């Protein structure tokens, strides 16, 4: 019963109820005109029901020419309709939602139908295409019967990015791992020679230097190394609306984070992205950009996002925090404290009203970004301490 009632539109319910009431009122008062109006309404409702009887056995395939585009680009959607059964069916409409709009096609006859329409994009985001739905009803809109045929598809609109230099040089130089101050007896970065101590691996004895020792009580000399580790970037984009005076500042922040992530992927650097709550850990370039496409304002503050990023990327060698102009330096230090003290931290503040600047400190390096085009020159300004 609920399914039958759901087919009737609010207009159809109004016509059916009013027709019955008018019939009863006309019969009580003896008004033939009112009875005629009621009969006309009920007959119209009955004819509308006849137009919705039956099902269309069809196969619908919805495909996108491009599943990922950059904001401002375009894709196209192809809808193929093919009859699966032999029975004839009345004409019906096929609806394909595209974001907030709907593309509607009329399907008539038994022949297959092939429709292609463009999808233009203006802003970053995810456009949901579908699900494809058949709609059977009447011209007056008294009844509407829908059948969902296909699962929706997603069109990822990636943010606009700017090309950056390889991270082998510049502020974020961290290519192929970096040398730390932690001593090790087995690594690649040679540090110095020291006297042999019980328990040292004899394979690292430097025989030539030991033979050149001139003192009688000299001991063997062994190699000492500095630990190196594979580079791992942790990129955090603040998603709190209070951090950005303008929504466009947030878009610049997302584009800046995406630009760094793309360059890290091209340099084969492991990257963890926490973009306003969207997490992507050690994914390819396309998956990283997908997380930026889904990023939106949320209630989670920057300290919570950095804590989440630090938990996911436990071996991070560089932390990059991107936020707006509102958070103070103490707020940034508190957020950056989620990462280990030995991890260099770089904060990128988006502030179109300020001049592009680089302010290094012992705790973290703070960069001020005025516009996205300034990012390459800003990142080439130095190295974190």
pLDDT in tens, 28-54: 888 888 889 999 988 988 888 887 776
Asked if the model's pLDDT at residue 276 lies above 50, the reply is yes
- In this structure, are residues 256 and 347 in contact, taking their beta carbons and an 8 Å threshold? no
Alpha-carbon span 138 to 108, nearest angstrom: 15
Q: CB count, 10 Å around CB of 283?
A: 18
pLDDT tier, 188 (very low <50, low <70, confident <90, very high otherwise): very low
Sign of torsion, CA 158 162 166 168?
negative
Mean pLDDT confidence for 80-89: 68
In this prediction, residue 70 carries a pLDDT of 94
Mean pLDDT confidence for 106-121: 80
In this prediction, residue 86 carries a pLDDT of 61
pLDDT tier, 66 (very low <50, low <70, confident <90, very high otherwise): very high
In this prediction, residue 275 carries a pLDDT of 92
Asked if the model's pLDDT at residue 180 lies above 50, the reply is no
In this prediction, residue 255 carries a pLDDT of 95
Burial of 302 (0-12, 13-18, 19+ CB in 10 A): buried
pLDDT tier, 89 (very low <50, low <70, confident <90, very high otherwise): low
Sign of torsion, CA 45 48 54 56?
negative
Mean pLDDT confidence for 190-206: 70
pLDDT: which is higher, 222 or 337? 337
Mean pLDDT confidence for 251-268: 92
In this prediction, residue 55 carries a pLDDT of 64
Alpha-carbon span 122 to 99, nearest angstrom: 12
In this prediction, residue 68 carries a pLDDT of 93
In this prediction, residue 385 carries a pLDDT of 34
pLDDT: which is higher, 341 or 109? 341
pLDDT tier, 21 (very low <50, low <70, confident <90, very high otherwise): very high
In this prediction, residue 267 carries a pLDDT of 83
- In this structure, are residues 135 and 92 in contact, taking their beta carbons and an 8 Å threshold? yes
Mean pLDDT of the chain: 82
**Encoding tokens for residue 69?**
């585009």
SS3 311: helix
**Encoding tokens for residue 320?**
């990059």
**Encoding tokens for residue 247?**
């929504």
Alpha-carbon span 336 to 327, nearest angstrom: 12
In this prediction, residue 10 carries a pLDDT of 86
In this prediction, residue 359 carries a pLDDT of 77
Alpha-carbon span 99 to 115, nearest angstrom: 18
Instruction: Indicate whether this model's pTM tops 0.85.
Output: no
In this prediction, residue 88 carries a pLDDT of 55
Asked if the model's pLDDT at residue 150 lies above 60, the reply is yes
């Amino acid at each position: 019963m609920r399914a039958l009632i759901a087919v009737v539109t609010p207009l159809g319910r109004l016509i059916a109820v009013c027709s019955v009431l008018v019939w009863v009122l006309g019969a009580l008062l003896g008004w033939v005109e009112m009875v005629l109006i009621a009969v006309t309404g009920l007959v119209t409702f009955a004819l509308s029901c006849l137009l919705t009887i039956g099902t269309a056995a069809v196969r619908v395939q919805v495909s996108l020419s491009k599943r990922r585009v950059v904001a401002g680009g375009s894709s196209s959607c192809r809808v193929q309709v093919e009859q699966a059964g032999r029975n004839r069916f009345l004409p019906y409409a096929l609806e394909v939602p595209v974001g907030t709009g709907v593309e509607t096609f009329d399907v008539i006859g038994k022949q297959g139908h092939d429709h292609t329409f463009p999808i233009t994009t203006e802003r970053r985001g995810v456009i949901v295409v579908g699900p494809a739905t058949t709609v059977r009803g009447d011209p007056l809109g008294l009844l509407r019967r829908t059948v969902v045929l296909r699962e929706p598809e997603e069109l990822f609109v990636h943010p606009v990015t700017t090309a950056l230099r390889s991270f082998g040089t510049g502020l974020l130089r961290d290519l192929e791992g970096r040398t730390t101050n932690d001593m090790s007896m087995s690594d690649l970065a040679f540090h110095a020679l020291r006297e042999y101590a019980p328990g040292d691996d004899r394979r690292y004895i430097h025989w030539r230097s030991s033979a050149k020792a001139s003192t009688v009580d000299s001991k063997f000399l062994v190699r000492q190394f500095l630990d190196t580790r594979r580079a791992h970037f942790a990129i955090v984009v603040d998603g709190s609306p209070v951090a950005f005076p303008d929504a466009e500042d947030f878009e610049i922040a997302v584009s800046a984070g995406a630009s760094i992530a793309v360059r890290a992927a091209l340099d084969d650097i492991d990257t963890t992205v926490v973009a306003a709550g969207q997490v992507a850990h050690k994914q390819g370039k396309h998956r990283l950009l997908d997380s930026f496409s889904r990023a939106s304002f949320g209630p989670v503050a920057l300290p919570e996002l950095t804590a989440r990023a630090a938990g996911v990327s436990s071996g991070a060698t560089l932390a990059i925090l991107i936020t707006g102009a509102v958070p103070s330096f103490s707020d940034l230090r508190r957020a950056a404290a989620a990462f280990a003290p030995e991890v260099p931290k770089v904060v990128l503040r988006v502030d179109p009203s300020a001049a592009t600047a680089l302010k290094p400190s012992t705790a973290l390096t703070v960069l001020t970004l005025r516009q996205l085009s300034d990012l390459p020159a800003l990142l080439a300004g130095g190295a974190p301490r």
